[in-house]
Amino acid sequence: MNWYELLLLGALSGGVWFWLDSLKAREIGVQAARNACGEEGLQFLDETVVGQSLKLLRDDDGVLRLQRVFAFEYSDTGNNRCFGSVTLLGHRVEMLYIRPHLYVVPSAHETLH
């Protein structure tokens, strides 16, 4: 085996590892978003998350890990789509964001047209 074949084999192995690691992180993101929506009484739409960003960061122990941010959609009424995100550092959920809602309740003497 020459150096080019070893380099190609290493690159392919790294690519397969990255792909499998990304699938695992995506599953963790889906589960975190599903659980958060369930706890808040929201509907988790499309049952999936979409990758938004990827970067290398150090965790609390100083170890380099991949930080992935996934976006997802949810609904509070069933007639709308709201956006949330879940941030993972390695395979640990660091932050989950669901936009706060502002509900405007008309007063009793106000009429709606």
pLDDT of residue 112 exceeding 60, the answer is no
pLDDT tens-digit map of 70-103 = 999 999 888 899 999 999 999 999 999 987 754 5
**How many separate domains does the chain show?**
1
DSSP 8-state symbol, 11: H
In-domain check, residue 18: yes
In-domain check, residue 29: yes
pLDDT of residue 110 exceeding 60, the answer is no
In-domain check, residue 57: yes
In-domain check, residue 104: no
Measured CA to CA in angstroms, residue 1 lies from 11, 43, 51 at distances of 15, 54, 37
Rg of the chain, C-alpha, whole Å: 20
In-domain check, residue 65: yes
In-domain check, residue 59: yes
At residue 50's C-alpha, the angle toward residues 17 and 24, to 5°, is 30
